[in-house]
Homo-oligomer: A and B are copies of this chain.
Amino acid sequence: MENKDSSSGKSSHVTLYANDSSQPSRAVMIFCDLNGIKYEKKVINVFAGEQFSPEYKKLNPASQVPCLVDGDFVISESHTILKYLHATRNCADHWYPSDILKRTKIDEILDWHHTNLREGVHTYILRKIVYPMMGKETPEWELKDLLKKFKKSCKYLNTLLKSSDYLFGKEMTIADLAIFSEFIDYKLHPDFDVSSYPELQKWSERMQSVPEVVNACYTTLKGAEKNKLAKI
């Protein structure tokens, strides 16, 4: 496998600063669990604002989780962490193929994720549930635009999934982990309706047949069950 470098300071001790309610944190946790990468998990209480503490900001100036510390090498941004772990931990090629065409399609959907599905799910939930509690009201046109982004994203993913079990073929890639960890939070609010996307629903069930996936997304799944919003 390419992309390995002898200068990589990979250590046996990896620390992951994360939170179960953070979609990007979950994607990294699932990847580690499925690839036998042991890590020490340090929970950052994002609801209490621990990500803004001076100590944490030294690690990650963007004040976001997850953040991985491997020896003296610090990495933020979940997609980057996934690629780094894949390149340094003898993971199977299918997770992030060395074939440039396959790899490029994975890079593309991961970039797409930032400004499409993530806005449609995470930003919508923030604006609908969290921000009002802080006195920040979002105008209706903006909520509608975000929900439109969710629907458009689902339509795109549903089309992609018509031809294969996972987003890019018969095996899981890091894209499935990143996209699923985000998508599953649709269960947290009844405004998200996925009934028009049967292939996406099947894929979601397929992902949830993996214990490591369910384990990492336990907070969402439990929350959805509690709120009786689970429809899949």
Q: Which residues of A approach B to under 8 Å, CB–CB?
A: 2-5, 7-9, 61-62, 73, 75-80, 83-84, 87-88, 98-101, 103-104, 107-108, 111-112, 114-116, 118, 136-139, 141-142, 152, 156, 159
Contact at A3–B107, with CB atoms within 8 Å?
no
Residues in B with CB closer than 8 Å to A5 are: 98-101
The CA of A139 and the CA of B139, in the complex, are separated in Å by 8
CB distance from A207 to the nearest CB of B (A): 22
Given A2-B3, A5-B99, A75:B62 Cβ within 8 A: no
Given A3-B100, A73-B101, A156-B62, A115:B114 Cβ within 8 A: yes
The chain B residue with its CB closest to the CB of A159 is B61
Known: A5-B100, A79-B111, A80-B108. 10 other contacts (CB 8 A): A3-B100, A5-B98, A9-B101, A61-B159, A77-B111, A77-B112, A80-B104, A83-B104, A87-B100, A111-B114
The chain B residue with its CB closest to the CB of A113 is B114
The CA of A78 and the CA of B111, in the complex, are separated in Å by 9
